[in-house]
Amino acid sequence: MKSYRFVIAASACALFAACSNVSNVNPTALIQSGQQAAQAATLSDADVRALTDKSCAQLDSENQIAAANSKYQKRLNKIAAQLGNNINGVPVNYKVYMTKDVNAWAMANGCVRVYSGLMDMMNDNEVRGVVGHEMGHVALGHTKKAMQVAYATSAARSVASSAGGVAGALSGSQLGDFSEKLINAQFSQTQESAADDYSFDLQKKKNLDPSGLVTAFNKLAQLDGGKSSMLSSHPASPARAQHIQQRIASNQ
């Protein structure tokens, strides 16, 4: 697995080298941005919570959220009641984005968002399997690692902009860029398999039918020839469906 700490350090070094010949770089902003890149490798849980709070609020403000009495939110509430109201002790809030896009994601602050486009093509068992998978990325620490990379990249952009006197901090368009990177984070195959198993185990623990994971993967694989936004960062759906089928067959 690629070392995220190495990626962050390499990005910071490359940017310092690139900026070394720029005469009008603000030294203070450059130092602050370099510190941000270094701090990304050791983001505390409090830092992660603060950043995800901002990101989730930003995305909520940019999307149409399903009304509390809508059929979409009622469906998601039913699924939420089955999966539970916390991830590793962090309270979860579930909302639906009204969009034709097919996607779902979860953040470390308990922010879980499901797109109506995904709910339109899947039944409740399948949606539950997908949401459980996204919650798995949070519970297993994958989203924190993805955040480190997204934060380092955003900090790197502020270094480049420091030549124009812009402060090296996440704000405005940088926050939007950071949020997009976070929800479109690419996970390794090992992380994907672990999140699949988390969803399977969570459902078995709650005496729920996990077979929706299998049919959800099959539907995603068929969508646009396997080129859906979810599959761009969630590869090898047929193999993952087979893995869950094997677990169901062996009852393990």
The catalytic position among 62, 126, 134, 192 is 134
Helix, strand, coil shares of the chain as percentages rounded to 5?
65, 5, 30
Do 196 and 236 touch, CB atoms closer than 8 A? no
Is residue 180 annotated as part of the catalytic site, yes or no? no
Compute the distance between CA of residue 30 and CA of residue 252 in angstroms, rounded to an integer: 53
Is there a contact between 27 and 167 (Cβ–Cβ < 8 Å)? no
Chain center to CA of 56 = 11
Take residue 215 and report the two structure tokens written for it: 């049919």
- Candidates 122, 111, 76, 108; CA nearest to 228 is 122
- Residues noted as catalytic: 134
